[in-house]
Amino acid sequence: MTASTHYDCIVVGGGVSGTALLYELARFTDLKRLLLLERRDRPAQVNSHAHNNSQTIHCGDIETNYTLTKAAAVKRTASMIVNYATKLPARERDGIIHRMPKMVLGVGERECNYLRNRYETFRELYPRMQLLERSDIADIEPNVALTDGAWRKEEIVATGTPDDYCAVDFQALSESFSAQCVQMDRTGDKTVSQLYGTEVTDIKKDGSDYVLQTSRGPMLARSVVVCAGGHSLLMAQKMGFGLEYSCLPVAGSFYFAPEALNGKVYTVQNPKLPFAAVHGDHDIVTEGKTRFGPTALMLPMLERYNKSTIRDFFQVLNLDRDVIATLWDLMKVSDIRNYVLRNFLYEAPWLNRRLFVREIQKIVPDLSARDIEYAHGYGGVRPQLIDRKARELKMGEVKIIDGHGVVFNMTPSPGGTSCLGNAEQDVRLVAEHLGARVDWDAFERELLCGHEDTRGVSAPVLAAVS
């Protein structure tokens, strides 16, 4: 193996997680030889592509399924994106993060009471958040509060911020991380390489090193971090790690309506349901459209619109009695059963628009089935894991660590928002393993200060370890 193919750390996967990690390793550690390998020909062509997710910076204020503790941790990592982007030149910043109104809407007495109480608990953590009565909502989002020019009939209230950085193009963010790495490679004393169009087919431990078989030949590294979505689990299991998990890919599709919202309007989450309730978002890349969704449909493929990943899905499904029992337990809950059925019908031609419009009408009552269209080619897949031992569906990100220099990240929503926070955890792991130095002062200056100061908030503990 030549020196040119021997690295301190190789990152596999060039979505927002992998590029964020390469950026942090290059910017804040003293490691000299870094490499990113991505099988597509550009960064962020899978779940981090701007068409494939909801483009939301989830900071915990409008996500009613988050506890206060979870919200505080999410706020820290979400702020890292805003702190990073607001230090860029204005033109670059404006291509990545966007200011707009955002709110979570309560409809009917029960949801309105719930939101009023939640506001009292969360307002200290989110000083800019406001309680929005119907006239405030009408000022910000007239199509939500009014129907045919008159007040809508149901009681409504919302909590949110009228103007905040809450939308992000994760693809542009990945491209920015990638460009910063090119710059560091050109101008500094480090090798920070990125090889696109390069697929990793196998990872093996060889003494204290890892050998990666790739479509460009073998590459050698002292540590490896895999940020390849559902494929991370496939690679982990090939190495004998994470065998307690099965992967359930849950696709999310969207519907377009003509511009109906000025910002983001989320709805109150049913606590029995595992995925975010339907929301409406002013699309930041598809002009003149409001995007509603996402739906939640189990699909037998690890990447949306990529049939070659069907085989990979069956390898990580690991269908056995425990997986079947977990799915059976989930389906015993009538709310989940109905939700699964409804989401199946949201993909059925002709019927889909007529059924999905009812979800949309909770947000914008005047929209009809004629106004909306299925967003073909949009949407991604959330690689949700099932813990077969515990017989439970894991909701957030999962990290598998062998303790000897290899890490595997599985990143369903809100994995885009957590990219820099996840990378921080991986930087710690890699630096500890290799005995590298991390410039935490620079890290704090660049990512924990600026638009939002989160220096007092401790870093979240590792999500899951095996």
Chain residues binding ligand FAD by CB under 6 A are 12-18, 37-40, 44-48, 53-56, 58, 170, 199-200, 227-229, 231, 252, 294, 379-382, 411-417
Give the whole-angstrom CA distance, residue 174 versus residue 94: 14
CB of 403 to ligand FAD, least distance (A): 22
> Residue 46 or residue 158: which is nearer to ligand FAD going by CB?
46
Give the whole-angstrom CA distance, residue 410 versus residue 422: 10
> Residue 199 or residue 371: which is nearer to ligand FAD going by CB?
199
CB of 294 to ligand FAD, least distance (A): 4
Tokens of 216: 């460009």
Give the whole-angstrom CA distance, residue 439 versus residue 79: 19
> Residue 211 or residue 227: which is nearer to ligand FAD going by CB?
227
Residue 106 φ then ψ, to 5° = -105, 135
Beta pairing, strands 219-226 & 406-410: parallel
CB of 139 to ligand FAD, least distance (A): 25
> Residue 15 or residue 106: which is nearer to ligand FAD going by CB?
15
Beta pairing, strands 33-37 & 191-195: parallel
> Residue 152 or residue 253: which is nearer to ligand FAD going by CB?
253
Matching residue, tokens 């809407």? 105
CB of 76 to ligand FAD, least distance (A): 14
Residues facing 206 on adjacent strands: 209
CB of 177 to ligand FAD, least distance (A): 11
Give the whole-angstrom CA distance, residue 87 versus residue 68: 28
Alpha-carbon dihedral angle through residues 433, 435, 436, 440, given to the nearest 10 degrees = 90
CB of 391 to ligand FAD, least distance (A): 24
> Residue 59 or residue 448: which is nearer to ligand FAD going by CB?
59
Q: By C-alpha distance, which of 244, 96, 93 is closest to 169?
A: 96
CB of 413 to ligand FAD, least distance (A): 4
Tokens of 309: 């990943």
> Residue 199 or residue 244: which is nearer to ligand FAD going by CB?
199
Residues facing 381 on adjacent strands: 251
Query: Which H or E element spans position 293?
Result: strand 289-293
The number of angstroms, rounded, from the C-alpha of 256 to the middle of its chain's C-alpha atoms is 21
Contact 263, 282 (CB under 8 A): yes
Contact 245, 387 (CB under 8 A): yes
Contact 202, 213 (CB under 8 A): yes
CB of 409 to ligand FAD, least distance (A): 6
- For residue 447, count other CB atoms closer than 10 A to its CB: 25
Instruction: End-to-end CA distance of the chain: give it in Å, rounded.
Output: 31
CB of 39 to ligand FAD, least distance (A): 4
> Residue 27 or residue 264: which is nearer to ligand FAD going by CB?
264
CB of 397 to ligand FAD, least distance (A): 8
Q: Which residue type occupies 123?
A: R
> Residue 160 or residue 380: which is nearer to ligand FAD going by CB?
380
> Residue 48 or residue 237: which is nearer to ligand FAD going by CB?
48
